[in-house]
Amino acid sequence: MHKSVLLEESIEYLNLKDDSIIVDCTLGYGGHSSEILKRIPNGHLYSFDQDSEAINYSQDRLSKIADNYTIIKSNFVNIKEKLNELGIDKVDGILYDLGVSSPQLDEDYRGFSFHKDAHLDMRMDREQDLSAYNVVNEYSLDKLTKIIFKYGEEKFAKSIAKKIVEKRPINTTLELADVIKSAVPMKYKKEHHPARKTFQAIRIEVNNELEVFKKSLADALDLLDINGRICVITFHSLEDRICKDIFKSVSTVRDELKNLPIIPKEYEPKYKVVKVISPKDEEISANNRSRSAKLRVIKRNG
């Protein structure tokens, strides 16, 4: 079963009260949502997910704890719109856990893993049209190279993309992993699994993850009430950089005002970065998937 990463830390820094209104943007299999729900008996939890299997599992899990929650089947890019439809325009806390859940990785047929044989899929929302199969078999050499380099930060992007185009059609995850292996030097294969970065890149492209996160996080900041907090758990440098840059942009004084003896109140930042946390050694030992995780926390001042 999926282990929620940085669970205790994210729950602590959400600063939950009995009557808090909280949004879990990434319900998944309910690890964070379960712990939040236990701590807000007079509040309400709104949880987003677009994966029907995760929703069905979490619905059952949460219903055994309390009934003051609402599951919203939608991509978290729609956070503001969906909450506004329910009459919610301010919340006390918002959580993002941007990792792919273990069941999605472990279930062969979802096509996320380079360790298991499955049709190339990788869709978080299984009702959308674009899948990994389309990206791998239909994108031009140039587009494929750019995606693997940009989203995978893969130094052998060009040779991997060339080999993919040469070997098309590619139907399964293990076929793709083998093609990637054949495109990189032997020394590189010994360092780590050579398919990891390319699979990450294709998954990000299929689900438009970075653009979706940017828009959602900007809307989340607007939704935050005074003293409210946002906790973001990232798993790779691209997501973390986006989060860090957005948090910095709303929590720092504008350059032209920095030398003033007193900053006028209306120009003081409305947000303050509270903490940046990495997993403890014990958590990394118990759950290897947490090794690259980072939790960033921001608070609304006023």
Q: Which residues of 197-207 are buried (b: 16+ CB within 10 A; e: fewer)?
A: bbbbbbbbbbb
Closest CA to 199 of 180, 186, 216, 212: 180
124 phi and psi angles, rounded to 5 deg: -70, -45
Instruction: Give the pLDDT band of residue 189 (cuts 50, 70, 90).
Output: confident
Tokens 């990450």: give the residue: 200
Spatial CB neighbours of 173, under 8 Å, sequence gap ≥ 6 = 111, 113, 114, 116, 117, 118, 119, 120, 199
Domain with CATH 1.10.150.170 in the chain: 107-207
Helices marked H in 68-208: 79-85, 102-106, 132-138, 141-152, 157-167, 173-181, 186-191, 196-207
Spatial CB neighbours of 231, under 8 Å, sequence gap ≥ 6 = 10, 13, 14, 93, 94, 95, 96, 295, 296, 297
Q: Which CATH architecture has domain 107-207?
A: Orthogonal Bundle (1.10)
Residue 4 has pLDDT above 90, yes or no: no
CA-based torsion, 268, 269, 274, 275: positive or negative: negative
Output the pLDDT for position 288: 85
The pTM (predicted TM-score) of the whole model is 0.91
Spatial CB neighbours of 178, under 8 Å, sequence gap ≥ 6 = none
Q: Which residue type does 207 have?
A: N
Mean pLDDT of the chain: 93
pLDDT in tens, 243-291: 999 999 999 987 777 777 787 777 789 999 999 999 999 999 998 888 9
Residue 105 has pLDDT above 70, yes or no: no
Instruction: Give the pLDDT band of residue 185 (cuts 50, 70, 90).
Output: very high
Q: Which residue type does 299 have?
A: K
Domain with CATH 3.40.50.150 in the chain: 7-97+210-300
Q: If residue 60 lies in a helix (H) or strand (E), which one and from where to where?
A: helix 52-63
Output the pLDDT for position 108: 64
- Residue 159, classed as helix, strand or coil, is helix
Residue 36 and residue 22 in contact, taking contact as beta carbons nearer than 8 Å:
yes
Q: Determine the average pLDDT of the residues in 137-160.
A: 98
CATH classification number, 7-97+210-300, choose in 3.40.50.150, 1.10.287.3510, 3.20.20.70, 3.90.228.20: 3.40.50.150
The tokens for 73 are 């089947």
Q: How far is residue 81's CA from residue 95's CA, in Å, rounded to a whole number? A: 17
More confident residue, 163 or 51: 163
Output the pLDDT for position 107: 62
Output the pLDDT for position 2: 58
Instruction: Give the pLDDT band of residue 112 (cuts 50, 70, 90).
Output: confident
